[in-house]
Structure 1
């Protein structure tokens, strides 16, 4: 399939998932009316208002920001997963499997439980970033022994670090003694888009756009790393400096995402593999496709989380784990068999 057609199809999936995410809920709104409301907001002459003010409020102030946040989070996790898999040259790398999401969650929980406001509204994202970066560096150092990093060592280091950090976050939550803080902190542990407002969309949206743009600017070094560290160094790449800079970028993206959505696993593991089947391993082609597919996937997952047992809501991190867990096991079996 031509690359342009793949992008068009993936873009169509994003639009379809977003339309369904806005239209479906406790009050169903026809897709045509959804687009009419959106077009009317862009310019009153684009659509005649034939809907109630309540429906316009539901579309603009309740569902649209949630869909946009889900799209940004999905895209960000997908491109982070693809970058991590190139940086550590391991197809099993994922922000959650490597403990990065757990590190970010610990930082977020610390801010919530101890009510840290040192940096104002940026306290939570900065703490999440610091936790994510610390976890990533720890896993990398634990997995790399004697100048070599094996798949088994990386996965074991990541899982062990994630378990320790998850236990630390759980300990902070159960000892906080404040039910409101406990409830808020549990949100980051389970992952979800509930309660999304417009103020929560802008920072992660801008971070994902900027981070993806930076990654698109370094696709050549990422492609070189796929050939191995020695080959990349022989072609002029400072592997250590490049990897360190990209680790910081990935940690910043994951920290920003976890600060608003909590721990959502396996998106960064599944999407890169599906994209490579569609467009190949070249990051110039794969990164845009991964961002689109990740956005469509998480919007659809969030919709399922809202409607499967309505009026109750399933944390979207639970659904992605139910999908990603079997995929991870299949991938492990495939690599072992080969």
Structure 2
């Protein structure tokens, strides 16, 4: 099915075949404007997210607490309110934002490398590998030994899946993007079968419930320690990808033209693929499977800000963080005091958008 989708969309060029990059001043202007708008919206959303929930904190108390944390003024919140904001809600806000940023920028990279706006971070099996690793940790009982065993197993699963797919794509000594895609689909299907079999063969209903909850994606277990581990991996990977964004623009025009301009095509391509895979693995390890963020956000940013990856990738990171922060906040309050899994909510939003892309691509091919 995934292969058919990609064949159907193969004519959908992200740049209509040969769009040239923008001038430096235009790039800077769009980047600054988009960055300021998204940063402002993120700050407002963070204040709302820190205030709402089963225990509501007044917005003024939240704002003064956040300002107090950065050394401005003094918090007017009660000790209980400060504890809830600082120890429970802020870690969740930060983790949701960095995971969304990771998925957003990874989606932009994958769509650029595959020249297809329907690509997403999980296309080469990284998300499936993370799911399998997490399921093994839960089913074996390792997740009960330490809270960090689950994300460690998930990250190992993501890295292993990435390594296998890269190995398949490099068989014969020549790297092939087409083989990478097909290998990713095959590995994802295989790992999905392992995950499903593990759930079916597990007799403990509580364990099955934990597995299903993790696969659905969420941030209810977010802690400052989770942010401290995930953030460096995601930030470093994102900075690397942004640093080579100009070379990605040239690759989209033509690999031969990129080589003639001094771009080391294989190095740039592998750097982008590995960076995107690692930050996706780090995101999945702490959040579970959260679908469609890497598909929807880069596409929307591309429609608004253009296809230049010097603008697209940074704004996809900010947009992805904002999108997932909004989704997580909504997931917490829509069924309050119960909580809807954020992965379910993003799928509800992303699936109709994906169908829209399919219909539009089909109309172009007719």
TM-score class, shorter-chain normalisation, is 0.7 to 0.9
Secondary structure in structure 1 of the residue aligned to 2:222: coil
Q: What is aligned with 2:90?
A: 64
Greater shift in the superposed pair: 246-255 or 190-199: 246-255
CA contact (8 A) 2:125 2:165 kept: yes
How far apart, CA to CA, are the structure 1 residues paired with 2:34 and 2:42? 12
Secondary structure in structure 2 of the residue aligned to 1:189: helix
Q: What is aligned with 1:188?
A: 214
How far apart, CA to CA, are the structure 1 residues paired with 2:141 and 2:55? 36
Q: What is aligned with 1:35?
A: 63
CA contact (8 A) 2:100 2:323 kept: yes
Q: What is aligned with 1:24?
A: 52
Q: What is aligned with 1:106?
A: 132
Unaligned runs of 5+ in 2: 1-25
CA contact (8 A) 1:21 1:303 kept: yes
Q: What is aligned with 2:315?
A: 289
CA contact (8 A) 1:70 1:299 kept: yes
Q: How many residues align?
A: 332
Match of 2:335 among 309, 312, 323: 309
Label 1:22 to 1:121 Cα distance change in 2 as closer, same or farther (>3 A).
closer
CA contact (8 A) 1:129 1:251 kept: no
Label 1:160 to 1:16 Cα distance change in 2 as closer, same or farther (>3 A).
farther
Label 1:123 to 1:59 Cα distance change in 2 as closer, same or farther (>3 A).
closer
How far apart, CA to CA, are the structure 2 residues paired with 1:149 and 1:332? 22
Unaligned runs of 5+ in 1: none
Q: What is aligned with 2:41?
A: 13
How far apart, CA to CA, are the structure 2 residues paired with 1:237 and 1:311? 54
Per the normalisation by structure 2, the TM-score is 0.80
1:256 CA displacement: 1.0
Per the normalisation by structure 1, the TM-score is 0.86
Match of 1:211 among 219, 237, 240: 237
How far apart, CA to CA, are the structure 1 residues paired with 2:281 and 2:248? 22
Label 1:149 to 1:211 Cα distance change in 2 as closer, same or farther (>3 A).
closer
How far apart, CA to CA, are the structure 2 residues paired with 1:103 and 1:181? 19
Label 1:197 to 1:254 Cα distance change in 2 as closer, same or farther (>3 A).
same
Secondary structure in structure 1 of the residue aligned to 2:122: coil
1:139 CA displacement: 6.2
How far apart, CA to CA, are the structure 1 residues paired with 2:277 and 2:152? 10
Greater shift in the superposed pair: 293-302 or 129-138: 129-138
Label 1:51 to 1:198 Cα distance change in 2 as closer, same or farther (>3 A).
same
Label 1:321 to 1:311 Cα distance change in 2 as closer, same or farther (>3 A).
same
Q: Is the counterpart of residue 46 in structure 1 residue 73 in structure 2?
A: yes
1:322 CA displacement: 0.9
CA contact (8 A) 2:65 2:76 kept: no
